[in-house]
Structure 1
Amino acid sequence: MSHLLARRTFITLLVFIILLSGVPLSMDVSAAGDIDAVAPVALDRYRSVSYQDLGSMMSAIGVRDPLANYNVLVDGMGTGLAPPTADEWDLFLSTAMLDGGAQEYQVPTASSLDLSAEVYFPQVRSQGSEGSCAAFALTYYNYGYVEARDQGWMQAKSGNNTQLLSPSWTYNKINGATHEGSGYSENARMIQQLGVATWDTYPYVAADDEGFGGETAWRSAPSHRISS
């Protein structure tokens, strides 16, 4: 695996585990409040997830009901965050790592931190009424920001569709029998397995939650994978 791909893998999976655990992320922050890099951490501070850990997380977050509608509309706008399935929770036992050194994290000294001010931050866009909030959060914003920094995309914030990732690419492949929601881990796994198509090759359409994308999108996606 190249250094660039290894960095993408570490950052994206670390952020995902933090999303589940609620642990704050340590970052180097410039005087202007911009993130320069994730602070180096000792690898021995991490440990595998235990059955006790798994039980605690499942109790706090829940288990996905395949027939439930997680897309609760708020003023006509979609939501859609679904907890992991039972199979996904089982998978965490062999793949997920927990951080045992959270007390070492430092709060940035800057009075504020606004990633959206950076040129790499994807343009703010609407999910409409579709239950694709997890895909927007992880695929479009989270990984889209990491990918933009790695690729040197300077027009993500201004909305250049060739420098934005499509939330539909992951959401449409994992939204379940009712097409009403997805979880962070599902979206991350799609990015790891298939990559992500750019917005220009597979535009987001709130009325379409089943399309899988055409040839151009499938050719675009492997260039934007979490890992090789």
Structure 2
Amino acid sequence: MIYLLRRSSLLLLPLLLSVNTLSAQEGGGGGTDYNALTSLQNNNNAMGSGRSILSTPPDVLGSNYVFENWNNDAVIVLDTGRKFSLKQNFNINAAQGSFESKTSETSVFSFDLSNIEHVIINEDRYVVGLDPEENRLKVYRDLGSYNGKKILKGFRTERVLGHPDPLRGQVNDEIKIRDTYYLSNEGALEKIKLKKSTIIDLFDTDSKSLKKYIKKERLNFKDDAHFTKLFLYLNNS
């Protein structure tokens, strides 16, 4: 169900949306309620163009989607401050860099990113930023901020080729989702390497104290939860 927060009446989203086709393989994850979303297909307030997503061949493993299934709760916050809640029907398309919600087993809504301020998915915060390489808006996970600087995690897909000889490894091709990290400074994104020395140098703070904290807590920045610890320390030290 889609509804305006703190109101009981059902609201057709006046968001900018477009309808896409979803491959049968990527459409898995039963239990999704499509009823509230199907009416959006004929919503005259919806803006955007329809586009097709190529079906994943049946012999290719993996998916373009960040979450294993669609049973994810989301709170969408527009740049106007309006908030909407979407229950058990949300995902991130890593290939497109978009927020999506299913209308059926074979179709999805792709949310236009230009009017979204941020989205909370399962209590984690995601934002929209301009990809410096592709020069288009994409979705990023917000890992935290300090002194006006943010660290964001982006998503991309890579097709890993299998081996024709099963004795040499995986036979089938597989779609894998790769993470890329960025420093966001006043809205501009710069790709960064996920090294402790790099992270320490990003912020105007006592580097010796920060090094001691990282060593004491055994922070591993390949774990998103460790960024939460880092920014809690920075913002409270």
User: Which structure would you say has the larger RCO, counting Cα contacts within 8 Å and 6 or more residues apart?
Assistant: 1
Is this a same-fold pair by TM over 0.5?
no
| Greater fraction of residues in helix | 1
TM-score range, shorter chain: under 0.3
Give 1 or 2: higher strand fraction: 2
* Structure number with larger C-alpha Rg: 2
